[in-house]
Structure 1
Amino acid sequence: MKPRDLAIYVFLATAWGLSFLVVLKVVAAFGWVAAVSIRAFVASATLFLIAKTIRRRLDFSAGWRPFFVVGATTVAGQLLGLSYATPLIGTAMAAIIVASIPLFSMVISHVWGLERIRPSGLFGLALGVVGIMLLVGFPAVPVTSEFILGCAAALAACFFAAFGSNYASHRLKQAGSWEVTTGSFLFGGLIAMPFLLVVPVPGVPGTIDILYLLIAGCVMSATTYLLYFTLVGSIGATRAISVEFVVTVVAVLVGAVILKEPLSPVQFIGAAVIILGCTMVLGLFPWQRTKVADVPLPHQDGIP
């Protein structure tokens, strides 16, 4: 890996790992719906303004429907689920569940006929399911209705992320990463906005809260996705997606050290099993012959 690629890799792992902490701050100030809707608008506007500044032409000739579907799943579905779940189950647990996105992605890709699951991939899927059962079934905190709802929301978010990524790779093959990211964030913000009638902003956000929101939209959404696609083009999607595992490690450390979130020994085992399963699914072991198609996956990283 070239020094530039390594620097991008480390930056993405750090930024996305810390994003779980930023989400907690933003959700507390804006509510879990506004935290997604406004952030999505900020991210879309940031990319649009940057494109105008550098005179990059954005081509949305694919039509609005594909961008709508990707926005509904990878932005609205994924980020609403994670924004709702993270305060309930903690950043560490949410991050570990997010690491299971490749498992959902491979199943959907196989059902749609986009990719055939090899034996090592099936074994990886089985390990991932076992890991999720260990993670959710043996928590260090009491199993309350809120905990169960949080886990369900996080898993639903992972499914939406995987669904949207596969849909984008199939229907938006000709669209560039700038267009896919800008369009999906715009529609994701529009789709999430009506839910403000049910979950309004709890109060008047302070200056620091607005700063956190801008960081989430400008840095942890817009900027990181552009860098991610740069990394995909340089080292390939399979190796680039592996940054998810480092993101999980960073987020778990943030949760354990800064937020003092408890995780049971069985949950640590579950996390290791999930990461092992995803590694096999992605074909990252040298002895595996299964190769994941190197296609841009707009929001498969599952970052809140």
Structure 2
Amino acid sequence: MLHRSSPAYVGLTLLWGFSFVLVRAVVDGFGWATAVSLSCLLIGATVAVLAVLKGASLRYRLRWRRLVLLGTGIAVQFIGLSISVAHLGTALAAAAVGTVPLFSAVIGQMWGLERITGTAAAGLVTGFIGIVVVVLFPAGGISWDFIVGMFAGLVSAIAGAMSSRYAAARLSSSGPAELVSASFLVAGVLTAPLALLLPGPGDADLLHWIGLLLLGVLLGGVGYTMELGLRESSGAPFATSARSGATMVAVFLGIIFLRESISFGQLVGVLMLIGGCLLVLGLVPSRSAPARRR
């Protein structure tokens, strides 16, 4: 199963990684509030259109109270991501938001959805130590921008983890494409008033609009559609791990192409974070795996 999904997995990892670069460009042009609202609306619409083109029937028979709660969580997730990118840049924002699997495991344990195994516990320790190392060794010293950006990124990760767990616990009977498209459309509507109150710099040009379309349609809508396909073919942990790989892609793009500063200690912390996430997701090969296959 793994070898058949690898091309889609690599493509999804690259899409998620490049999305951090586009988030930065879109936020710079539109401001974080407008960027969040428009991106969520485009993602929701694209997922719906692609599902219909694939022959799915979208009935949207969802409980609106639960859907609003889920949409609120997604809105907070994207707001935190946009603010984090604006204050930290691509690389460090990706590291902060990359803690989603860690918080998801903790929330799953608290809500009784799953039990944290010994391997997952080791991953939690490794991952959280990694993010602490990222915080303690900033390249330019600790500043208000750094504090605000890291806080916003971690809030985004917690909101993303809670949203995914809530959807699995309370909305699992809904179709995945239907649920994703509806929740993002609700998130876009909920954040629209913020876009009116906080319009941003107002100097978006053609390139910013192209970036918004790429973010919402290609990296957002197509990316989520690919992730749903991977979940069906290879399971949720394997599909979710693409986001951990995307963290490394975003860090690489931020350092090499965007010339962002990151200390050696922070790079070590990011690697620890990714390793911890893979342990939590159960994707690190164990010694007993060959024996089981025999």
- TM-score category of the 2 structures, normalised to the smaller one: over 0.9
Q: Per-residue deviation at 1:226?
A: 0.8
Deviation for aligned residue 1:61:
1.7
- Structure 1: which 5+ runs fail to align? 290-304
Match of 1:26 in 2: 26
Is the Cα contact below 8 Å between 1:36 and 1:79 reproduced in 2?
yes
Task: Measure the CA separation in 2 of the matches of 1:195 and 1:230.
Answer: 33
* Residue number in structure 2 paired with 1:123: 122
- Determine the structure 2 residue equivalent to 1:71: 71
Alignment deviations for residues 121-153 of structure 1 (CA, whole Å, 9 cap, x no partner): 222212222111100111101211121011000
Q: Which moved more, 1:92-101 or 1:149-158?
A: 92-101
Residues 120 and 288 in structure 1, CA contact (< 8 A), matched pair in contact too: no
Shift of 1:51: 4.2
Q: How does 1:74-153 map to 2 (within 5 A)?
A: 75-153=74-152
> Gaps spanning 5+ residues in structure 2: where?
289-294
Q: TM-score, normalised by structure 2?
A: 0.93
Cα pair 2:48 2:178 within 8 Å, conserved? no
Partner of 1:249: 248
Native 8 Å contact 2:99 2:157 kept in 1: yes
Output one character per residue of 1:172-210: Cα deviation in whole Å (capped at 9) or x when no partner. 111111111111111110111121244213214222211
Query: How far off is 1:269 after superposition?
Result: 1.4
CA distance in 1: counterparts of 2:116 and 2:2, whole angstroms: 31
Q: Which residue of 1 aligns with 2:44?
A: 44
AA partner of residue 260 (structure 2)? E
1:296 alignment partner in structure 2: none
Matched, 1:237 2:241: no
Alpha-carbon shift at residue 47 of structure 1 (Å): 2.9
SS of equivalent residue, structure 2 residue 58:
coil
Q: Residue type of the partner of 2:16? A: W
Amino acid at match of 2:21: L
Q: Is the 8 A contact 2:2 2:234 kept in 1?
A: no
Q: Which moved more, 1:129-138 or 1:147-156?
A: 129-138
Q: Return structure 1 stretches of 4+ with deviation > 4 angstroms.
A: 1-4, 51-55
How many angstroms apart in 2 are the aligned matches of 1:106 and 1:52? 33
Contact 1:59–1:175 (Cα < 8 Å) also in 2: no
One-letter code aligned to 2:123: G
| Alignment partner of 1:35 is 2:21 | no
1:54 and 1:176 map into 2 onto residues whose CA distance is 14
Greater share of helix: 2
Q: CA RMSD in A?
A: 1.7
Change (3 A) 1:222 1:288: farther
CA distance in 2, matches of 1:76, 1:288: 41
CA-CA distance at 1:288 after TM superposition? 8.1
Query: Structure 1 residues 56 and 284 mapped into 2: Cα distance closer, same or farther (>3 Å)?
Result: closer
8 Å CA contact 2:177, 2:228 repeated in 1: no
Contact preservation (8 Å) 1:43, 1:222: yes
| 1-structure distance, mates of 2:39, 2:243 | 21
Deviations 1:88-114 (A, max 9, x none): 112111112222111100110000000
| C-alpha distance 268-113 of structure 1, shift in aligned 2 (>3 A) | same
1:163 is aligned to 2:132: no
CA contact (8 A) 1:177 1:226 kept: no
Instruction: Name the CA distance, whole Å, in 1 between partners of 2:241 and 2:261.
Output: 25
What is the distance in 2 between the residues matched to 1:51 and 1:234? 17
Q: Where does residue 302 of structure 1 map in the other structure?
A: none
1:194 aligns with 2:193: yes
Residue 285 of structure 1: CA displacement? Answer: 2.2
2:291 is matched with which residue? none
Partner in structure 2 of residue 293 of structure 1 = none
Q: Is the 8 A contact 1:59 1:179 kept in 2?
A: yes
